[in-house]
Amino acid sequence: MASEGDKLWGGRFVGGTDPIMETLNSSMTYDQRLSEVDIRGSMAYAKALEKSGILTEGDLEKILSGLEKISEEWSRGAFVVNKSDEDIHTANERRLKELIGDVAGKLHTGRSRNDQVVTDLRLYMRNSCSVLSAHLLQFIKTLVERAAVETDVIFPGYTHLQRAQPIRWSHFLLSHAVAFTRDSERLGEVKRRINVLPLGSGAIAGNPLGIDREFLRKELDFDSISLNSMDATSERDFVVEFLFFASLLMIHLSKMAEDLIIYSTKEFGFVTLSDAYSTGSSLMPQKKNPDSLELIRSKAGRVFGRCSGMMMILKGLPSTYNKDLQEDKEAVFDVIDTLSSVLQVATGVISTLQIHKENMEKALSPDMLATDLALYLVRKGMPFRQAHAASGKAVHLAETKGISLNQLSVEDMKSISPLFGTDVSQVWDYANSVEQYTAPGGTSKSSVTAQIKQLRELLRRQKDLF
């Protein structure tokens, strides 16, 4: 049995904790990540205690000096974790006492691990949001700049995984980039809600020692102060919002990955992944597998699980802090690690991807211009619904004759509508087809160029926010 003598809560207990319970209760294996932000929060709190008269100037100097030494030990990998350290807060306070003596016991005055841990988590997540934002913006920039270089490449666009209309390859890349910009905006909104100070809320009722929370806010660079101490120590909305942002980002990444996996098959042959982002088969020497994209796709499920799991934990809790909330950190840490890896790999995939323009062009077929055929009639005054039907009849006639749509004679066309003339031959040009779509958001070169310009400006604004 483990002794309770050195535990922060040990005074009321006798005997020891069951060793299995000790293991279940401990979070030290993963919340060591919070070491630096825990020290930073303690330094700020110590200054607030001195400001309110709880600590003398000498006490403060000793505590700050001791915390700086602990920070150095963590950064050098020299900090020794004891078996009795059930979490990062316990470990740092235990080590502080070893370094400066009983004055270390004053640091926790008026502070609960309830407001301490959520402060640490918010500080850590705030920093992580900035790192993730840099990765995400670099990924979006890679998509946009690749689109800018390859605006003249035309290939089939698909709906229902069936050939639909000709589009520019750059238009496809930008369709994904636009979705990721929404993710970037969401991340900024999540960071803003993370950046609220809970420190000074105590366990539940608040702080009775005249702690200057505005001073703490400025010291720790938070935007605002939590309004209610009961809510502050227990709410994990910011965790769920972050996990939902991550889930939606992974949906978008998974969709892009699936598109590229399909395009990389020999059946399509539109793209080839770099060897740096591919693997082979242990049995079949010829195989080159898009494992980078498959792993991106699979990690989406992992992140979804973390999000739904956290919501399930929260939905059954009564008010204020409960130990169930210890599960928040593993979910957050895992998702941060996953996003960081996935975004960097996705950037590498896009920047090194080889496209096969000739295969893309070969995949274009005249039936994809059936809409253009209908628009030809519309421009000659026919209502669109009638034009749609006429174009459909032309498709059926070509299929009946066993020929492609553009091989129908003018006489064949006239049998469907007298509005068809010899100028119908102009319809069968893929470059002309994409150039029709000049409205904002379309696939014409001018529209795609405008999208690139807008996205570059959006990226500049997003970068400034972080």
Among residues 30, 92, 105, 109, the alpha carbon closest in space to that of 334 is found at 30
b or e along 330-357 (b: 16 or more beta carbons within 10 Å of the residue's beta carbon)? Answer: bbbbbbbebbeebbebbbbbbeebebbe
360 to 29, 154, 156, 256: CA distances (angstroms) = 51, 7, 7, 18
Q: How many CB atoms lie within 10 A of CB 51?
A: 15
Rounded to whole angstroms, the Cα distance separating 196 from 200 reads 12
Cα Rg, the chain, nearest whole Å:
31
Write out the two tokens for 149: 């270089």
Q: Please say whether the beta carbons of 64 and 46 come within 8 A.
A: yes
Write out the two tokens for 369: 């211009």
> Dihedral (C-alpha) 16, 21, 25, 29: value to the nearest 10 degrees?
100
Position 102: which residue type? D
b or e along 162-185 (b: 16 or more beta carbons within 10 Å of the residue's beta carbon)? Answer: eeebbbbbbbbbbbbbbbbbebbe
Per the annotation, the verdict on 409 as an active-site residue is no
Q: Exactly one of 274, 281, 425, 446 is catalytic; name it.
A: 281
**Beta-carbon contacts of residue 167 (< 8 Å; ≥ 6 apart):** 154, 155, 156, 157, 434, 443
Q: How many CB atoms lie within 10 A of CB 9?
A: 10
**Beta-carbon contacts of residue 392 (< 8 Å; ≥ 6 apart):** 370
Among residues 256, 123, 120, the alpha carbon closest in space to that of 183 is found at 256
Q: Please say whether the beta carbons of 300 and 257 come within 8 A.
A: no
> Backbone dihedral region of 111: left (phi > 0), alpha (psi from -120 to 50 degrees) or beta?
beta
Per the annotation, the verdict on 281 as an active-site residue is yes
Helix (H, G, I), strand (E, B) or coil at 34: helix
Q: Which residues pair with 155 in a beta bridge?
A: 167
**Beta-carbon contacts of residue 162 (< 8 Å; ≥ 6 apart):** none
Report the catalytic residues. Answer: 160, 281
